[in-house]
Amino acid sequence: MVAGGEHNLGLADVTRYAAAMHDTASSALSAFDLAALLVVAAALLGWFNHHVVKLPHVIGLTVMGALTAIGLMIANAFIPAITVDDWVAETLQRLNFTETLLQGMLSFLLFAGALHVDLDRLKSAWLPVLLLSTLGVIVSTVLVGLAMWGVGMVLGLPVAPIWYFVFGALIAPTDPVSVLGVLKEEKVPHSLQSAVAGESLFNDGVGIVVFTILLGAALTGGDFSLAEGARLFAVEAGGGVLVGLVFGWIGYHALASMDEYTLEVLITLAIVMGGYALCSSLHISGPLAMAVAGLLIGNQGVTYAMSDVTRDYVIKFWELVDELLNSVLFLLIGLEMIALAAGADDLLFGLAAIPLTLVARAIAVTLSTKAIPAARLSDKGAGRVLWWGGLRGGISIALALSLPPGETRELILAATFATVLFSVLVQRATLGRLIEKLKDDHAPAVEDAPSTAVH
């Protein structure tokens, strides 16, 4: 942040700032209309993908959303009278992807994901998870920032150096939605599953905190103070963990005091919505709070505070929420391509970001899992799975869309979209093949034992 701590920005400030950048004119479409459009579009395109395209669900929705956006832009370029792309862009702008994801969907997605992670197995991998979600994020932020700064100098871009590190922060964390989705489909050993799932749950919260600190310095034009940044990081991250523990503890005792599944489902909803809203008002990390609360309810709560009937209803309810929001999220990722107005420099900058973020991820994984002997993952092939499975997704796009308008924002958007689309369409699509190849090579990291770390 800035020296003296005079311009502290929290996640809620960033999303409100992003909302202020959008047109506030009244619209005939209500919030319900927007939600209805998205759900109907996700259902129709999901049906079409299932019966015709036959891509994995979220990949298919992302591809069709992106193709729709690109098709509308091309049609408008050749036939100016066609203004559907303008209507779609205006609708998405009014929806405000950043606000929708970071202050709405993310709380439900993180809680639903954490609900299925085995806490005992996560404890056994606590050190690599801690290092991957903290040291790994910081190392990746610095390396990507330095590398993209070099690319900017080669291209002669008039961008202040701090903005390259802002991009490094928003692209550093892996996306828990994508990662946990893959873990449900692929069989990897318990220790590696714990490391991958734990990192994905916690490093997005860490990444958002680092992003808000660097963005505050970039927006105010002040000098970055490492000491002030560390203080804010400790307050936001520590406060998020504390709120998660408190709400998880309260929720556990409330669930244990009754056997009424409808009310107990409502209690889990209250934990998510109330806890995240409190974190936003206190300017502390809501994502970390939801990860901690989800772990407590999904382990202690499910095991000791619920009857079999309640357990079945709670788990199925949150699986349904997870699938619905996943479908809408990945459709939005594709459609948001329409917000990209990329020039030649933007495209070159974006293409350069793909290999550089992969290299930075490889170095961050290596340092986090091998620098300290106790943090080493003994499973053969673990490093490759962690590297190639470091998927980026909606969180990175939401943070990029929260940036103020201008040439710098267009550059960062281009790099973010390029990296995320490569991650979703290439890395996610081929991660299963990598795991299968490691199985063929008899790597113990991908043994065929049944998976229980994410249940």
Average pLDDT, the chain: 82
Instruction: Return the pLDDT at 141.
Output: 95
Output the pLDDT for position 250.
Answer: 95
In terms of Cα–Cα distance, which of 290, 168, 285 is closest to 234?
A: 285
**Residue 8 pLDDT exceeds 80:** no
- Provide the 3-class DSSP secondary structure of residue 224: strand
- 384 and 430 in contact (C-beta within 8 Å)? no
DSSP summary character for residue 158: -
**Does 44 or 16 have the greater pLDDT score?**
44
Percent residues over pLDDT 70 in the chain? 84
**Can you give the pLDDT at residue 189?**
67
pLDDT band for 245, please (50, 70, 90 cuts).
Answer: very high
Distance of alpha carbon 189 from alpha carbon 446, whole angstroms: 6
Measured between alpha carbons, how far is residue 201 from residues 211, 236, 344, 417, 426 in Å? 17, 16, 36, 22, 22
Residue reference for tokens 């903005």 = 163
- How far is C-alpha 321 from the geometric centre of its chain's CA atoms? 16
Q: Residue 294 has what pLDDT?
A: 93
**What's the pLDDT at 5?**
46
Q: Which of 41-55, 127-141, 196-210 has the lowest mean pLDDT?
A: 196-210
302: enclosing H helix or E strand: helix 302-304
The confidence band for 84, taking pLDDT boundaries of 50, 70 and 90, is low
- For residue 230, what pLDDT band results from cuts at 50, 70 and 90? confident
Q: What is the pLDDT of residues 350-381, one digit of tens each?
A: 999 999 999 999 999 999 888 787 777 766 77
314: confidence class by pLDDT, cuts 50, 70, 90: very high
DSSP-assigned letters across all residues of 182-250: HHHHS---HHHHHHHHHHHHHHHHHHHHHHHHHHHHHHHTPPB-HHHHHHHHHHHHHHHHHHHHHHHHH
| CB-count exposure of residue 432 (10 Å: 0-12, 13-18, 19+) | middle
pLDDT of residue 342: 67
- What would the two tokens of residue 306 be? 């619920």
* pLDDT band for position 191 (cuts 50, 70, 90): low
Please tell me whether residue 117 adopts helix, strand or coil conformation.
strand
104-157, pLDDT tens digit by residue?
788 898 898 888 888 888 887 888 888 998 899 999 999 999 999 999 999 999
Enumerate the β-bridge partners of residue 454: 117
Distance CA 137, CA 181 (A): 21
pLDDT given at position 23:
46
Confidence of residue 97 (pLDDT cuts 50, 70, 90): confident
The whole-number pLDDT of residue 106 equals 85
Strand residues in 41-200 grouped as ranges (E): none
Q: Which of 79, 165, 156, 57 is nearest to 429 (CA)?
A: 57
Least confident of 124-138, 215-229, 327-341, 347-361: 215-229
Q: How far apart are CA 17 and CA 279, in angstroms?
A: 17
